[in-house]
Chains A and B, each alone.
Chain A
């Protein structure tokens, strides 16, 4: 099977899996699972959407950012501030939040992407921490509304009363839950379509080449930084939107998303799902939301549990649940499939040798052979 046919087969498979997923969740509410379950699933959609973008940047793009939640926060905060201070319609404000997140990602990328991979992690983490610290220590009153002191960034309490999506007015109080649910689902679907498109595009192939054979690819004129910057910025839009959706649904935007427990939660989703894979983020988000929901009583040990999940996954399940599924069904995990392209080149070269074209030197993977 040629490589082109191979990929088309995968796109088709992903399409059908995705379609079934969407259809399932579209009709699920009809079975009346109850408000609590629906809210948890809504949260699952939002986190899955965020981790999808983070995985795109981290696992596919090779940008080891630990500050992804800063982008999420920017989207949420800008939306809330526009809603509170400028009294904008929340939908418009959410879009503005997304666009601001793009700009913020772009700047963050400019700053950090000149660094070698792992150091990006530290710098982005530091940026997120600084953001958290600045918000939490914001204790000055920006203005007084109804005798209540309101900080510019909302401080540790967060920003509230900035408006809402209007579900209550349109559908009535009972159906707000459904409005949130479908909004979050839409966010996940659109974000995922974007992510999958990137992964299947030539940009995706570029990143795989960069990841597996960095120096080789770079000497062939592939501009790592520009590609990464582009990816980082655009995926920032969907992350910022997610921040807005989250804020609009919970009617509060606060600094909690910038704390370590949230980072740990999302990181474990990405890791256990499968870094750099297509369905990893959604699988991981689902697995962890289920665990989190069912293990409510654990509280104190939640952090310990998440840490152990991350550590054990990295050691024993490096390709995550996706890798596990593929191993069970004996398929090759998606991120390794394109490695085969490299060995196909090698085989082609060996065939050419037999027909006496002796002066070829395979410069792809150099001194290892």
Chain B
């Protein structure tokens, strides 16, 4: 039984004629949090989309809980338990918060279970409860982020792919988001988090990969990253 939740073997992909990711290999143990960092525009989001299926895999294999999924369309991967919280949130603008959340579990059969999940999301993000009938496009950046993550929780998959949770948010909101991510980690889910903001990620992640030009150039645990100032300077302008 593969104790890896997610395994990538030599995966390459891209858009139209442009190859963006070159031969990426990666293992994520069930229940752990893996972070991917690196300069913008180098393929981090593309990698996540390749795992979730929004981008087709050009070559290589993707295994989820031992099952090869690289040829599966995105919506089928969701049914297996792969949940992608996309960069930019991609909320349904004309629907209310509650409708957005319910859409996260739109294909679930058990309505009681759906209500339970909804309650859990409102516990985690009380702001969403307050504004449950507000139309999504009127929400602020932080609220959208919470909505996006909440919606992902509604889908309740084992693997959570989160793309840039702190993007465009003020520090206090980032605190809030990362607190909720820590809480979610307690529940035993597996996480793959893409971030530009290394500081927060270091406290959450068990292992970190550094991506540059569509390839992994380094990986290690957060402490190693902290002490490696040359790495930080070259790739992250810190």
Contact flag (A, B; Cβ within 8 A): yes
Q: Chain A interface (Cβ within 8 Å of chain B)?
A: 336, 339-340, 342-343, 346, 349-350, 353-354, 356, 358-359, 361-362, 367-369
Asked whether, in the complex, the Cβ of A361 is within 8 Å of the Cβ of B40, the reply is: yes
Measured between beta carbons, the chain B residues less than 8 angstroms from A358 are 39, 237
**A339-B17, A346-B18, A350-B213 are contacts. A369–B41 as well, Cβ < 8 Å?**
yes
CB <8 Å contact, A369 and B234: no
Q: Is the CB of A356 within 8 A of B17?
A: no
In the complex, whether B45 has a CB less than 8 A from a CB of chain A is yes
Say if the beta carbon of B87 comes within 8 Å of chain A: yes
Contact of A369 among B17, B43, B237 (CB under 8 A): B43
Task: Please name the residue on chain A nearest to B90 by beta carbon.
Answer: A367
A353 to chain B, nearest CB (A): 6
Chain A residue with Cβ nearest B18? A343
**CA separation between A358 and B46, bound complex, in Å?**
20
Q: How far is the CA of A349 from the CA of B213 in the complex (A)?
A: 10
Are A356 and B15 interface neighbours, CB within 8 A?
A: no
Q: Tell me whether chain A's interface is mostly helix, strand or loop, or mixed.
A: helix
- CB of B41 within 8 A of CB of A362, answer yes
B130 at the interface (CB under 8 A from A): no
With contact pairs A367-B88, A369-B45, A369-B46 given, residues A353 and B39 touching in the complex (Cβ less than 8 Å): yes
Q: Whose C-beta in chain B lies nearest to the C-beta of A350?
A: B213
Report chain B residues within 8 Å CB of A339: 16-17
Bound-complex Cα distance A294 to B68 (A) = 52
C-alpha spacing A367/B15, complex, angstroms: 12
> How distant is the Cα of A359 from the Cα of B237 in the complex, in angstroms?
8
Bound CA span A336–B17, Å: 9
Pick 17 A–B contacts, CB within 8 A, sort by A: A339-B17, A340-B17, A346-B18, A349-B41, A353-B39, A356-B234, A358-B39, A358-B237, A367-B45, A367-B87, A367-B88, A368-B15, A368-B45, A368-B46, A369-B41, A369-B43, A369-B46
Chain A residues positioned under 8 Å from B17 (CB to CB): 336, 339-340, 343
Q: Which of B9-55 contact A (CB under 8 A)?
A: 15-18, 20, 39-43, 45-46
Chain A nearest Cβ from B197, distance in angstroms: 16
Which are the 4 A-B pairs with shortest beta-carbon distances? Answer: A343-B18, A358-B237, A369-B41, A362-B41
A23 → B minimal CB distance (Å): 36
Distance between Cα atoms of A340 and B213 in the complex (Å): 18
Q: Which chain B positions have C-beta within 8 A of A343? A: 17-18
Q: Given A353-B42, A368-B15, A368-B46, 4 more contacts at CB 8 Å?
A: A353-B212, A354-B213, A369-B20, A369-B43
A361 touches B41 (CB 8 A): yes
A357 to chain B: closest CB distance in Å? 10
Closest Cβ neighbor of A351 among chain B residues? B213
Residue with the highest number of chain A CB atoms closer than 10 Å, among B17, B18, B40:
B18
A343 to chain B, nearest CB (A): 4
Residues of chain A lying within 8 A (CB to CB) of residue B15: 368
B212 closest partner in A (C-beta) = A353
Closest chain A residue to B235, Cβ basis: A358
- Whole-angstrom distance between the alpha carbons of A68 and B87 in the complex? 43
Chain B residues whose C-beta falls within 8 Å of the C-beta of A353 in the assembled complex: 39, 42, 212-213
A interface footprint on B74-87 (CB within 8 Å = 1, 0 otherwise): 00000000000001
Residues of A within 8 A of B43 (CB): 369
Contacts of B212 in A (CB 8 A): 353
For the complex, what is the distance from the CA of A91 to the CA of B88, rounded to whole Å? Answer: 61
Query: How many angstroms between the C-alpha atoms of A339 and B136 in the bound complex?
Result: 36
Please report the C-alpha to C-alpha distance between residue A362 and residue B234 in the assembled complex, in whole angstroms. 18
Q: List chain A residues, Cβ under 8 A from B39.
A: 353, 358
Bound CA span A350–B88, Å:
24
B-side contacts of A336, CB under 8 Å: 17
In the assembly, what is the distance between CA of A359 and CA of B40, in Å?
10
- Write the nearest CB–CB distance from B79 to chain A, whole angstroms: 25
What residues of chain A lie closer than 8 Å to B42, measured between beta carbons? 350, 353, 369
Residues of A within 8 A of B234 (CB): 356
Residue of B nearest to A358 (CB): B237
Q: Give Cα distance in the complex from A356 to B236, angstroms.
A: 10
Q: How far is the CA of A340 from the CA of B17 in the complex (A)?
A: 8
Distance A213 CA – B221 CA, assembled complex (angstroms): 40
Contacts of A354 in B (CB 8 A): 213
How far is A362 from B42 in the complex, measured between Cα atoms in Å? 10
The residues of B that contact A361 with a CB separation of less than 8 Å are 40-41
- Point out the residues of chain A lying under 8 angstroms from B41, CB to CB: 349, 361-362, 369
- Of listed A340, A346, A361, A368, residue having the most chain B CB within 10 A: A368
Taking the closest CB of chain B, its distance from the CB of A208, in whole angstroms, is 14
Closest to B15 in A: A368
Chain B residues with CB under 8 Å of A359's CB are 237
Which residues from A are CB-within-8-Å of B16? 339
Q: Which of chain A's residues have a CB closer than 8 A to the CB of B46?
A: 368-369
Give residues of chain B (83-103) contacting chain A, Cβ–Cβ below 8 Å.
87-88
Look across to chain A and name the residue whose beta carbon is closest to the beta carbon of B233: A356
Instruction: Please report the C-alpha to C-alpha distance between residue A349 and residue B42 in the assembled complex, in whole angstroms.
Output: 10
A346 to B15, CA, bound (A): 12
Give the distance in Å from the alpha carbon of A359 to the alpha carbon of B43 in the complex: 17
Residues of B within 8 A of A350 (CB): 42, 213
Which residue on chain B has the smallest CB distance to residue A347? Answer: B18
Chain B residue at minimum C-beta to C-beta distance from A368: B15
What CA separation (Å) do A367 and B88 show in the bound complex? 8
* A residues near B87, Cβ cutoff 8 Å: 367
Q: Which residues of A contact B45 (CB under 8 A)?
A: 367-369
